[in-house]
Amino acid sequence: MVAEREPIGLALMRFNKLLEPHGITWEMRRRKDFAKATQARRAKRFQKKFKARKATLLAQMAGEQPVASLARAKGTFWKRTGKP
């Protein structure tokens, strides 16, 4: 029940606190952004490639891997880094 002249924000916070012990808010967050299986696989593949490129760049910056031009390596990394 919402009291008279009670701000809607307070009423929503109270409502969310009532739902929290039952795990409903967690379930709602989990189901909010459904991703198709193909999208999940594509994002996972992108993350794997990104981590590999980042590790290579960091190794080049640390001097562990030879590189002709560090500026060019950084440019190539950021150019290839886009959305999945």
**Chain segment 10-60, per-residue pLDDT in tens:** 999 999 899 888 988 888 887 888 888 999 899 899 999 999 989 999 999
CA distances from 35 to 41, 42, 83 (A): 10, 11, 15
* Cα–Cα distance measured from residue 51 to residue 21, given in angstroms and rounded to the nearest whole number: 37
Same domain, 45 and 74: yes
Whether residues 84 and 67 fall in one domain: yes
Torsion from C-alpha of 34, 39, 41, 47, nearest 10 degrees: -100
- pLDDT number for residue 83: 56
Per-residue confidence (pLDDT) for residue 58, from 0 to 100: 92
Instruction: Please give the pLDDT value at position 35.
Output: 82
- Nearest to residue 69, comparing CAs of 61, 79, 59? 61
pTM above 0.85, yes or no: no
Range of the domain at 78: 36-84
Q: Kindly tell me if the per-residue pLDDT of 78 is higher than 80.
A: yes
Same structural domain for residues 40 and 76? Answer: yes
Q: Do 51 and 12 fall within a single domain?
A: no
Q: Tell me the average pLDDT across 62-81.
A: 86
Q: Are residues 22 and 49 in the same domain?
A: no
